[in-house]
Chains A and B, each alone.
Chain A
C-alpha cells in the first residue's frame, strides 16, 4: 500500500507492506536511522518521534495510520546549523553516553517542554518516564532538559 506523509518537512509517498511500523518506514524506507528500536513492548522510548508535534513511540504506530500526517525525527530537529535548545541542553549537560536512547529522549523532551515550558525537576522525571536510559542514571538528562527549559538560569 502507498502511504503519503511529511517527514522533517519533506513529503514522501512510500510503498509499504500493510503491517509496516512507522519506525521501519523511517529507518528502512527513508534511511532515517537516528530513530532507534530498543524493545518490543513500547516500554523504552528509543523510537520516540513527533507526530504532528506530539511525541509518539513509532514502534507502535502503523505506517498506514499516519497517512497525511507530519513526522519529525531527530534529523529534522535542528534549524539548519542552529540546534534546537534541547540538543544544546543535552550537549552542555552531558545528557548522553552511548547515544542509543538519545534521539528518542531528545524528542520526548521537546514534546515535554512544548506542553510545559518551565517544568520542575520532578516534572521532568515524571514526563520522561516512558524513555529509558541505561548509561546516565538520568541525572544529567534531567539537568539537560532543565537547561533547555524556558526561564532556566542559563538562558
Chain B
C-alpha cells in the first residue's frame, strides 16, 4: 500500500460503490421467512383481541347499526360503532391542506360513503370467531344517490359532504389558457382516462398494539405494515391526542407498500383506542378482499390533453386538464394532481403550457399514493399527446420527440410549470434506447408484416420521461453512525425499506468511507425508539436523502475519529490518516503504528463507542429521467395483445448497487406494463366494486411478462454529494405510456388514433372495428 501524502485524510482503496453486492437481507427471507406484522410472536401480544371490521355494502347511504345480537356472543370482547368514538375528534387528515370538513370519522357516523367503509369493529378472543360475529351485526341502509363518476361529482348535484358545500376538495392551476394555441398550424386534442388501479402489495395491511404502564405514564407500542414509521407514530399520537413520545412505533418487515402504505390508515388507528379501552393487546390483519376495498387505489384521473405546433414537428403549446377522482375521503390522491401539474411538460421544451386540475370526492374508495403518485399520470398524458401530434403530422414519433427535448446543455432549468430540473440528457437516453431496441429494424419488420397482410401486427411504442424524486420540497433525512467498542458499526437510518435493500446499499456507503468491512456493519431502521427521526421510504427519496445522510455521517465519523486518534497518538487531528484497507488510523508518515476503529471508538466511550448523529438536507428535489421502447404483437382478428419486449434507459445518476437498482427497475417496469395492458379497478354505476379480489383484478403473473432489457446511463445530480437520484418509481413512469403507445401504434395504419388503458383485447378489437367503419 502506497503511503499517504501528509495532508490526505485517508489512503486510497478500491471503492465498493457501484459493485454487485448481494443483499445482506436475503438469508433470512430465504430460510425462515421475514417477520411481518402477522408473524409477530412478541409475548406482550399474548392474549390479544382480534379485530374484525363490519364494512359497508352500499356506496352511499344513511346507516343505522344494531350490535345487540353480536355483543352477547361468548368470546366477543366488544363491538363498537361511531358512537363509541364520540369523545374523540376525527383523526386529522393525512395532509394539512385537505379541508377539515372532509375528514373521515373513526367509523362511519350515520352515513357511509363507499363500499368497504368500516361501520363497526368487533373484538373477539379468536380470529375465526370475528367473521362469524360480523354476520350478527345488523346494519339498516337507507340509500342515497351514489356519485361514482367524477364528472357527476364535479357538478355538485349530490353532495357527499353537505358542510363543505361542494364535492371539490382541491384545485391547482399553472399557466394561462389565453391564446394558447393561436399560432399553431396543428392542434390535436384527446380525452384520456388514466384508470384507477390497485397497489396490491403482497402483504395486506396489518396491525398489532399494546399499552404498558398506567395513567399519564401509559405508553403505546404499535406495530404496523408501513413505509413511514415516524410519520405513523405522529399520526397515531395526533389521533389519540398524545405527545409523540408516548407512542413507540415499530415497522417490522413490510411486504411491499408501493406508496399505499405511507402512514397508517383508519383501521390501524382504531386498534390503539380499542386496546386502551379494553386493556388488552389488539391485532388486526385484513383479508385481500378488504385490502382491495379499503386500502385505497391509485391514479384515477380523467385528462384532456391538447397539443399544438408546426407541421414540421415543433411543439409550441400544450394544455392538460385533470379531473382527479379522490374517492370518498380525500387522502394523498387529492393532492397528487399538484405533482401531475409540476411534471406536465415532461422532457419537452414547450413555449406555452397551461394546466388545470380539480380533485373531487366520489362514493368510491379513497385514492392514495401509488408508485409514481401523480407523475405517471403526467407522463402518460404528454407521451400520448406527443404520439397523437406525430400521427397527425405524419412524422415518426421518435423523431418528433428528438426535435422537442430539452437540450443537454440547457440544465439547470426551470420549466414553464415551475419544475427546477437539476440535470439530464434526454436525447442521449432516447438515442441509447432506440439503438438498444434496434428501432429501425423494428420499423422495417412492422412494415413487412403490414405489407404482407400478416394478422399478427407489430407495435412499437416510445416514451421519454422525467420525474421528480424526494420532492416537491427540498428534503432532509437523519442518520446515526455508531462505531461500537469492538469496531463493528451500526447505522441507523430514518428511511424505512420494505424490499429496497437499504441494509445492503447503506452499509456499502458506510463501508466505503469508514474502511470497515460490510459484514461488520448493521443497518437498523423502522423503530422510533431506536431512530430519532425519519421521513420513511416513499417518493423515491431514500438513497438521495437517507443514503446521503449515511455518507455524510460516515465522513463526520471519520473526522471525529481523527480527533480521537490524534489524542491517542498525541498528534494533531490534521496529521491523522485513515487507512481504509486496514480499518485503522495512523500518523501521516508512520503507517506501521495503526490504532484500529475498536480502540478509537472505545476512547470515545468505553460502553457506547463513537456515536455521530447527522441530518442531510438537500437544496432541492432531483429529476431522474429515461426513455423506454415497448414492442407488442397485436392480433388484428382478436385484439389480443402480447408484450414482446421492453427496453429501457433509466438514469438516476450513479448507481451504488446495480443488483438493487436493476430490481427496482424490473419491478417498476412490470407495474407500468400492468397498468397499460391489464389492471383496472372498476365500479358499477351504483358504486359496487367489480374487482374485489385477485381473481377479478388482472394482476399479471410471470406468464404475461417478458424479460426486460436494461440499458445503463448515469447523469449525476448536482444536489447531493453522491450525485444520486431516486429509482423506485422510474420504471413505472416510463413503461405505461411506452406500452400504450405501442398498442395504438400496432393498429395506427388501420385508422386508430387512441385506445384507453388497460388495452384489453375487447378494447383493441372495438377500436379496430370503429376505425374500419
Which A residues are closer than 8 A to B by beta carbons?
A: 17, 19-20, 27-28, 31, 33-41, 43-44, 46, 74-75, 77-78, 83, 87, 90-92, 94, 96-103, 106, 121, 124-126, 128-142
Pairs of residues from A and B, 7 with the lowest C-beta to C-beta distance, nearest first: A34-B33, A100-B255, A137-B670, A98-B499, A97-B499, A99-B29, A43-B694
Q: B288, A98: Cβ atoms under 8 Å?
A: no
B666 at the interface (CB under 8 A from A): yes
B141 at the interface (CB under 8 A from A): no
Inside 8 A of B289's CB, which chain A residues have their CB?
Answer: 40
Q: B707, A142: Cβ atoms under 8 Å?
A: yes
B748 at the interface (CB under 8 A from A): no
Inside 8 A of A135's CB, which chain B residues have their CB?
Answer: 202, 256, 499, 663, 667
B26 at the interface (CB under 8 A from A): yes
Binds A, one of B34-42, B57-65, B181-189, B510-518: B34-42
Binds A, one of B333-341, B464-472, B695-703: B695-703
Q: A129, B701: Cβ atoms under 8 Å?
A: yes
Q: B22, A98: Cβ atoms under 8 Å?
A: no
Q: B22, A126: Cβ atoms under 8 Å?
A: no
Could you say which of A38, A40, A136 contacts B667, with CB atoms under 8 Å apart? A136
Q: B705, A43: Cβ atoms under 8 Å?
A: no
Q: B202, A100: Cβ atoms under 8 Å?
A: yes
Could you say which of A43, A90, A100, A139 contacts B693, with CB atoms under 8 Å apart? A43
Instruction: Give chain B interface residues in 210-259, CB to chain A under 8 Å.
Output: 253-256, 258
Among A38, A77, A98, max chain B CB count under 10 A is at A98
What's the nearest-Cβ distance from chain B to residue A1, in Å? 14
Besides A43-B694, A129-B701, 12 new A-B residue pairs in contact (Cβ under 8 A), listed by A number = A33-B35, A38-B288, A43-B699, A97-B500, A98-B253, A98-B254, A99-B29, A124-B702, A131-B702, A134-B202, A139-B705, A139-B708
Inside 8 A of B30's CB, which chain A residues have their CB?
Answer: 74, 83, 87, 90-91, 96, 102, 106
What are 28 inter-chain pairs, A to B, with CB distance below 8 A? A28-B127, A34-B32, A36-B203, A38-B204, A40-B288, A41-B693, A44-B694, A78-B31, A90-B26, A94-B659, A94-B662, A97-B500, A98-B253, A99-B253, A99-B255, A100-B202, A106-B30, A121-B707, A124-B702, A129-B703, A130-B701, A133-B702, A135-B256, A138-B666, A138-B701, A139-B666, A139-B707, A140-B666
Q: B201, A134: Cβ atoms under 8 Å?
A: yes
CA distance A86 to B671 in the complex (A): 25
CA distance A83 to B671 in the complex (A): 31
Among B253, B289, B660, B663, max chain A CB count under 10 A is at B663
Q: Known: A125-B703, A130-B701. Is A100-B256 also a contact (CB below 8 A)?
A: yes
What's the nearest-Cβ distance from chain A to residue B43, in Å? 13
B586 at the interface (CB under 8 A from A): no
Q: A96, B669: Cβ atoms under 8 Å?
A: no
Q: Known: A90-B26, A135-B256. Is A39-B499 also a contact (CB below 8 A)?
A: no
CA distance A71 to B699 in the complex (A): 29
Inside 8 A of A97's CB, which chain B residues have their CB?
Answer: 256, 499-501, 663, 667
Q: A43, B33: Cβ atoms under 8 Å?
A: no
Q: A39, B31: Cβ atoms under 8 Å?
A: no
B638 at the interface (CB under 8 A from A): no
B619 at the interface (CB under 8 A from A): no
B396 at the interface (CB under 8 A from A): no
Could you say which of B32, B36, B255, B663 contacts A136, with CB atoms under 8 Å apart? B663
Q: B33, A35: Cβ atoms under 8 Å?
A: yes
CA distance A44 to B699 in the complex (A): 9
CA distance A92 to B671 in the complex (A): 24
A44, closest chain B residue (CB): B694
Instruction: Give chain B interface residues in 15-35, CB to chain A under 8 Å.
Output: 22-23, 25-35
Inside 8 A of B33's CB, which chain A residues have their CB?
Answer: 33-36, 74-75, 99, 102-103
Q: B693, A40: Cβ atoms under 8 Å?
A: yes
B128 at the interface (CB under 8 A from A): yes
Inside 8 A of B731's CB, which chain A residues have their CB?
Answer: 137
B287 at the interface (CB under 8 A from A): yes
Inside 8 A of A96's CB, which chain B residues have their CB?
Answer: 26, 29-30
Q: B663, A46: Cβ atoms under 8 Å?
A: no
B200 at the interface (CB under 8 A from A): yes
B358 at the interface (CB under 8 A from A): no
Q: A91, B128: Cβ atoms under 8 Å?
A: no
B113 at the interface (CB under 8 A from A): no
What's the nearest-Cβ distance from chain A to residue B692, in Å? 9
Inside 8 A of A75's CB, which chain B residues have their CB?
Answer: 31-33
Among A38, A87, A90, max chain B CB count under 10 A is at A38
CA distance A37 to B668 in the complex (A): 23
Inside 8 A of B663's CB, which chain A residues have their CB?
Answer: 94, 97, 135-136, 140
What's the nearest-Cβ distance from chain B to residue A79, in Å? 12
Q: B203, A98: Cβ atoms under 8 Å?
A: yes
CA distance A121 to B708 in the complex (A): 13
Q: A102, B29: Cβ atoms under 8 Å?
A: yes
Q: A41, B499: Cβ atoms under 8 Å?
A: no
What's the nearest-Cβ distance from chain B to residue A23, in Å? 11
Hey, what's the 0/1 contact readout for B194-208 against A, CB within 8 Å counting as 1?
A: 000000111110000
CA distance A125 to B247 in the complex (A): 45
Q: B39, A44: Cβ atoms under 8 Å?
A: no
What's the nearest-Cβ distance from chain A to residue B669, in Å? 6
B705, closest chain A residue (CB): A138
B673, closest chain A residue (CB): A137
What's the nearest-Cβ distance from chain B to residue A7, in Å? 14
What's the nearest-Cβ distance from chain B to residue A88, in Å? 9
Could you say which of A46, A94, A128, A142 contacts B23, with CB atoms under 8 Å apart? A94
Inside 8 A of B375's CB, which chain A residues have their CB?
Answer: none
Inside 8 A of A124's CB, which chain B residues have their CB?
Answer: 702
Q: Known: A17-B128, A34-B33. Is A98-B498 also a contact (CB below 8 A)?
A: yes
Could you say which of A31, A33, A35, A92 contacts B22, with CB atoms under 8 Å apart? A92
Q: A136, B200: Cβ atoms under 8 Å?
A: no
A99, closest chain B residue (CB): B29
Inside 8 A of A131's CB, which chain B residues have their CB?
Answer: 701-702
Inside 8 A of B701's CB, which chain A residues have their CB?
Answer: 125, 128-132, 138
B253, closest chain A residue (CB): A99
What's the nearest-Cβ distance from chain A to residue B102, in Å? 30
CA distance A35 to B256 in the complex (A): 16
Among A37, A75, A94, A142, max chain B CB count under 10 A is at A94
CA distance A106 to B26 in the complex (A): 13
Q: B288, A41: Cβ atoms under 8 Å?
A: yes
CA distance A14 to B254 in the complex (A): 30
CA distance A101 to B202 in the complex (A): 7
Inside 8 A of A28's CB, which chain B residues have their CB?
Answer: 127
CA distance A130 to B702 in the complex (A): 9
B28, closest chain A residue (CB): A99
Q: Known: A94-B662, A99-B33, A106-B30. Is A137-B256 also a contact (CB below 8 A)?
A: no
B658, closest chain A residue (CB): A94
CA distance A146 to B573 in the complex (A): 54
Inside 8 A of B200's CB, which chain A residues have their CB?
Answer: 134
Q: A134, B29: Cβ atoms under 8 Å?
A: no
CA distance A83 to B26 in the complex (A): 13
Q: Known: A31-B41, A100-B36, A141-B702. Is A39-B666 also a contact (CB below 8 A)?
A: no
What's the nearest-Cβ distance from chain B to residue A41, in Å? 5
